[in-house]
Structure 1
Amino acid sequence: MAKTGYGKRATGDEDPHADPDFAHLLPRDTEVAVFIDHLDNGHAMGHKVLAEVHPRYGQQAMRTSLNHLIDAGHLRWIKEHITLQDNTMRWVTRTYWSRTRRSPEWWAEFARERDGKDVTPDHGPGLARTEEPAAQPTCEPPVRDDEPSADASSAAYGALVRLRAADPRIALSEADCRSLEPLAVRWLSRGATPNDITRALTDGLPPTVTNPGGFARKRLEAKMPPTKDETPMAPEPSRPLRGRVTRVIMACGTCDQDERTVEIVRGICVECRKEFDENPMTDEDIAKGFEEVAHLGITSAHFLKKKLERRTGGPVPDTFRSVPIEDRVHYHYRDNRDRIANGLPPRRWNP
């Protein structure tokens, strides 16, 4: 499984399972598509990881099949810019899978709809909650002895706002003040004063504070005063920070470059597509290739043996060769048969 927030993600709104789901793909790509379709959401989608768990195909074959699935409209790599509740930001690359074949226009609309989604991490590995949070109950929660009043909340917010006047290096934005207000309220509920908060956040500041919000959060947590009765409090359950997608861009499924720097066509950038489309094979090419390879497997051993006999002046027993002629022809035939079946051009015979 991938880290939380990453891994395979189903696009949803798909057709039911059916035999023709991947009938338009080559045999190997069909097998890889069925394999990916049965993976759990959140499973890592790198070609190296998939090759480790797939019983038949290695890294190169898996990477080629992934490119074919991207080109066919089943896979997309999308980069999402996430802004969290604590005002921190990050880029996350998502891997979206669709059992139903999708057009480039459908994927473009899907990426556009991702903008603005709530992606607060869920407890499941590799998942993210995309629906809006449920409404809070209207009943009043039970009042605790150390729960601050509205006046205490106002005093905590005011103490954070006044930091700008106390020391410009720790000037907090409105979002920082709202985010840090619960910590400041806990300080006041434990007997601290607004001046104590100011001193804790301004004493011994470095010459430059590049992230005042993060710096203040770290100090408020590290210097939290003890409770009034000096009894340790039970650890509060950790809650994931709310996060929202603020920007979405398409990424190349091969080199991971995004559309800001390269042109992406059907999920693959132009440079990678040149290599991908270097030797495209049509159905007629595949049928012709099978015929040529079958003919090669029948006649090559005879003609190659005659050629070697002319070169050596007479018959040469197989015991004097590193590999018997029939075995070399068989290996070449079997290799080209598999390559053609998977849409790759056959290799030249090199006796």
Structure 2
Amino acid sequence: MATENFNPALRTPASSRPYPKANRGYGKRSAPDQRPVHADDFTLLPERERYIAGYVDHLPDGAAMDIKSLARSIPLYGQMAVGSALRALGVAGHLRHAQCRIEERGQVRWVTRTFWSRTARDNEWWGAFLDAENNRATQEAAASTAPQPPPRVPAEAPVPQAGAQPPAPAPATPAGPAAQPASPAPVPVVPQQRTPEPAPAHPSPAYLALAQLGRLEPRLALSAADCTVLAPLAAQWFTRGVDTDYLTRALTSGLPAQVDSPIGFVRRRLNDKIPPGLPTTRTPATPGTPLRRLMVECTECGTPGHPEALPDGLCRPCRTPALGPAPTAPADPPVERDIHALVSTLRDLMKTP
């Protein structure tokens, strides 16, 4: 006897292979204050969106959430269907795409994060949540760029050498007017030795780029003191948008057969080959206005913007349905043609060689 399954939600099959992991900084991020998993989750969604939502809900944080990765893991639907389903889930209040600004090693990049909520949320809740995430990202960036105090090194007590005898007590001299103070023994003069300058506790990207020059090109081997002196000049390159590879190629390309003074040669190239500063296309922020590090991304076209400018996760062009062509006046009825004359003309053309 056949039994009918009254559960409207499709059961997501267990994957036999591990979930695709996104690159560091990307991937799924679970929103807080979600209700526990229940059998009637996503029951109000259509069949396709309900199936994809159940699969996404089981993904761990950090899993890949791009359309291609989801389409490879879900055999029932292709990329077009997955993209349409993600857009519908964004309108239903289950997910938002956002671009987060990350600064690492003197470089700035934007990563795409997908915030997921099993519980459907409205636009006001998503706006407050994304503003809180933006404030948290701003505080983390400020804490990472704040100068760290140097570590305090406790003073070490002199350690007695093994086998050394303790100093003998000085003989007591009788107190009296005849007692004369002993003349101090001459102190031998020891020439002062130069101590090597220690490397910084938190080396900058410019210092690290200069330190590895000697390993890539022995003719440009620099000491720790040389790297400390040249680090401010190399830091000016990073402020103009170049990376470590660009700086290394500029310093090591076209070397002469012999370099007598590596520090002088590198200093000359740092001053002569510094790249030009590229003009930025962004509007400079007014003083006192913090830089926004989290921008909501349109689920359909990927256009970034503020949360209030993208309700339901869609920008205005994607949210407004495309209008059809403007109605035109009805065309005039076609002029009656002489069918017999037309057929006669066609026959004559067919007879022409």
TM-score bucket of the superposed structures, by smaller chain:
0.3 to 0.5
More helix by share: 1
Indicate the structure (1 or 2) with the bigger Cα radius of gyration: 2
Give the alignment's TM-score, normalised by structure 1.
0.47
